[in-house]
């Protein structure tokens, strides 16, 4: 294996962080039991490696953001629509 380039270094650090994270024992357990193969681990995103709790929190944040954007778009459309006389 040759020297790490920037992207590989970031990926390596992400994997190590997630494996060492005390709030993420499921990932470590799945790797140790062979449920997640090394080949898969190196292709997983940070989101994929996150704990179930963190994935739930991230999904909740995305949902709130989408709802806020939808509400703002609806308000913007109301202010742009011409008022009928």
Q: What is the pLDDT of residues 42-74, one digit of tens each?
A: 999 989 999 989 999 999 999 999 999 999 998
Are 49 and 15 a contacting pair, CB within 8 Å? Answer: yes
Mean pLDDT to the nearest integer, 30-42:
95
Q: What percent of the chain has pLDDT over 70?
A: 88
Element (H, E) at 47: helix 46-49
| Alpha carbon 41 to its chain's center | 15
**Residue 47, both tokens:** 């989101």
Are 51 and 27 a contacting pair, CB within 8 Å? Answer: yes
Helix (H/G/I), strand (E/B), else coil: 36: coil
- Is a pLDDT exceeding 50 seen at residue 85? no
Of the CA atoms within 13 Å of residue 67, those in its CB half-sphere come to: 6
Q: What is the per-residue pLDDT for 2?
A: 58
Helix (H/G/I), strand (E/B), else coil: 31: helix
């Amino acid at each position: 294996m040759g020297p790490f380039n920037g992207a590989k270094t970031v990926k390596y650090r992400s994997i190590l962080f997630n494996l060492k994270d005390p709030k993420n024992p499921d990932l470590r357990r799945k790797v140790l039991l062979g449920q997640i193969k090394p080949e898969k681990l190196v292709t997983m995103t940070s989101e994929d490696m996150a704990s179930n709790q963190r994935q739930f929190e991230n999904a909740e944040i995305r949902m709130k953001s989408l709802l806020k954007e939808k509400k703002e778009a609806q308000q913007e459309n109301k202010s742009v629509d011409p008022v009928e006389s």
